[in-house]
């Protein structure tokens, strides 16, 4: 994804992060902190021991195959689902067990942008009513003041003020998602969780929505958990990336480092399958073809959950659960027995070729 995907210059993710780090100072609490989070649906372990933080002014991408548990993490983060165990802290406050009454005044601090705007916007309400609803619910503005704020938000997301009186079905998919973003930002939250925000859109409008999110995040400085399977999008938008496999995080790293030198064999496989803009680069990249299907979370494999598909697996991988350990650079984490103490990682593509 180009930084000028629609002709509008966008500050690269790493530059935005450095700018926000200088502005916010190290003493502030993260916008989001998940601690040893689990979510079990009966015997199904959808999320199993996830620890993850999102700094203020930081975009963290959460990637993985369908069924990896990443959307469940996002729903728990905004209290649309309850964890089986673990805790959720937003802007320093533990919201895990708060009652609805005690949680209500805090909800203005975090919002979710849903995957499909067609199903997340009430078709009976006008655009103005949809965006103003959080303002009225949290008693921030009403009447003419709410209308002024709605019109300002519409301009900020690239829509016209006169569209405020339309209904969702009168807008395009990209315009509806811009309305969803405006609604999420109406209360100036500390945290936005975006769950596959472009996957339901035409390819032709995905870039413009990503550029919009990058601009708004840079200008407003909110923390963002960006959940996606689109590696080009996450490379463009995120400062840091966490990779999930079967309910667990297997690698975390700054975006540039992860794409340049993935440590976990699963991350290497994901990146090898991602299309790249340069056809010549695509031809020189060895594709890592994983054997077998994604195991069921009902009966996850013993030891490393990836070992049943990993071309590098050894006996230890099938019996011993690898810890998500910090690597020597202090910025990266990987859960793999085969990553050396100095951070050197094996090359899964070489093993695939040999096999």
In tens digits, the chain (355 residues) has pLDDT values of 444 343 444 445 555 555 554 444 434 689 999 999 999 999 999 999 999 999 999 999 999 998 899 999 999 999 999 999 999 999 999 999 899 899 998 999 999 999 888 888 999 999 999 999 999 999 999 899 999 999 999 999 999 999 999 999 999 999 999 999 999 999 999 999 999 998 888 888 999 999 999 999 999 999 999 999 999 999 999 999 999 999 999 999 999 999 999 999 999 999 988 776 555 555 455 788 787 788 988 889 999 999 999 999 999 999 999 999 999 999 999 999 999 999 998 888 877 654 4
Tell me how many domains the chain contains.
2
Residues 326 and 275 reside in one and the same domain: yes
Domain that holds residue 278: 261-354
Provide the 8-state DSSP code for 328: T
Bridge partners of residue 35, in order along the sequence: 87
Report if residue 304 sits inside a domain: yes
Question: How confident is the model at residue 119, as a pLDDT?
Answer: 87
Residues 230 and 348 reside in one and the same domain: no
CB contact at 8 A, 180 and 120: yes
Residues 268 and 337 reside in one and the same domain: yes
Residues 216 and 271 reside in one and the same domain: no
Report if residue 279 sits inside a domain: yes
Residues 103 and 205 reside in one and the same domain: yes
Residue ending a domain, choose from 245, 274, 298: 245
Provide the 8-state DSSP code for 264: S
For 234-251, write each residue's pLDDT tens digit.
999 999 999 999 999 999
Report if residue 27 sits inside a domain: yes
Q: Which two tokens stand for residue 299?
A: 């009966």
Q: Of 9, 20, 50, which is closest to residue 223 (Cα–Cα)?
A: 20
Measured in whole angstroms, the distance separating CA 41 from the mean position of its chain's CA atoms is 22
Q: What pTM, to 2 d.p., does this model score?
A: 0.89
Q: What are phi and psi of 11, to 5 degrees?
A: -65, 130
Report if residue 3 sits inside a domain: no
Residues 78 and 186 reside in one and the same domain: yes
Report if residue 190 sits inside a domain: yes
Residues 187 and 291 reside in one and the same domain: no
For 134-170, write each residue's pLDDT tens digit.
999 999 998 999 999 999 999 999 999 999 999 999 9
Report if residue 323 sits inside a domain: yes
Residues 192 and 336 reside in one and the same domain: no
Q: Which two tokens stand for residue 236?
A: 């463009």
CA pair distance 213, 161, nearest whole angstrom? 19
CA pair distance 103, 241, nearest whole angstrom? 29
Residues 240 and 265 reside in one and the same domain: no
Residues 186 and 307 reside in one and the same domain: no
Kindly list the distances between the CA atom of residue 47 and the CA atoms of 261, 292, 293, 294, 347, in Å, as whole numbers in the listed order: 26, 21, 19, 15, 28
CB contact at 8 A, 190 and 56: yes
Bridge partners of residue 156, in order along the sequence: none
Report if residue 108 sits inside a domain: yes
Residues 192 and 341 reside in one and the same domain: no
Report if residue 132 sits inside a domain: no
DSSP 194-208: EESTTTTS-HHHHHH
CATH code of 87's domain: 3.40.50.300
Residue ending a domain, choose from 219, 245, 271: 245
Residues 211 and 91 reside in one and the same domain: yes
Find the distance separating the first CA and the last CA of the chain, reported in whole Å. 33
Q: Which two tokens stand for residue 141?
A: 């503005």
């Amino acid at each position: 994804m180009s930084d000028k995907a629609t002709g509008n210059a966008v500050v690269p993710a790493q530059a935005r992060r450095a700018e926000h780090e200088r502005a916010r100072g190290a003493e502030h609490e993260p916008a989001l902190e998940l601690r040893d989070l689990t979510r079990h649906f009966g015997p199904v372990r959808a999320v199993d021991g996830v620890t993850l933080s999102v700094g203020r002014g930081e975009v963290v991408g959460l990637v993985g195959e369908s069924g990896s548990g990443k959307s469940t993490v996002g729903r728990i983060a905004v209290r649309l689902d309850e964890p089986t165990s673990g805790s959720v802290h937003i802007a320093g406050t533990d919201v895990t067990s708060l009652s609805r009454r005690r949680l209500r005044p805090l909800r203005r601090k975090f919002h979710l942008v849903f995957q499909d705007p067609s199903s997340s916007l009430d078709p009976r309400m006008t655009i103005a009513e949809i965006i103003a609803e959080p303002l009225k619910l949290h008693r921030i503005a009403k009447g003419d003041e709410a209308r002024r704020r709605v019109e300002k938000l519409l301009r900020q997301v690239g829509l016209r003020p006169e569209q405020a009186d339309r209904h969702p079905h009168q807008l395009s998919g990209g315009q509806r998602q811009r309305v969803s973003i405006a609604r999420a930002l109406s209360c100036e939250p500390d945290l936005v969780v975006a769950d596959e925000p472009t996957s339901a859109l035409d390819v032709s409008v995905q870039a413009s929505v990503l550029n919009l999110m990058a601009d708004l995040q840079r200008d407003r400085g909110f923390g963002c958990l960006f959940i996606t399977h689109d590696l080009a999008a996450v490379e463009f938008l995120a400062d840091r990336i966490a990779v999930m496999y079967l309910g667990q995080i297997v690698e975390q790293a700054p975006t540039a480092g992860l794409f340049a030198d993935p440590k976990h064999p699963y991350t290497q496989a994901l990146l090898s399958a991602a299309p790249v803009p340069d056809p010549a680069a695509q031809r020189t990249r060895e594709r890592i073809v994983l054997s077998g299907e994604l195991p069921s979370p009902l009966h996850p494999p013993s030891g490393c959950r990836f070992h049943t598909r990993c071309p590098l697996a050894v006996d230890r991988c099938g019996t011993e659960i690898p810890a998500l350990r910090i690597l020597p650079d202090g910025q990266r984490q990987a859960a793999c027995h085969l990553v050396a103490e100095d951070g050197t990682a094996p090359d899964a593509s070489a093993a695939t070729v040999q096999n």
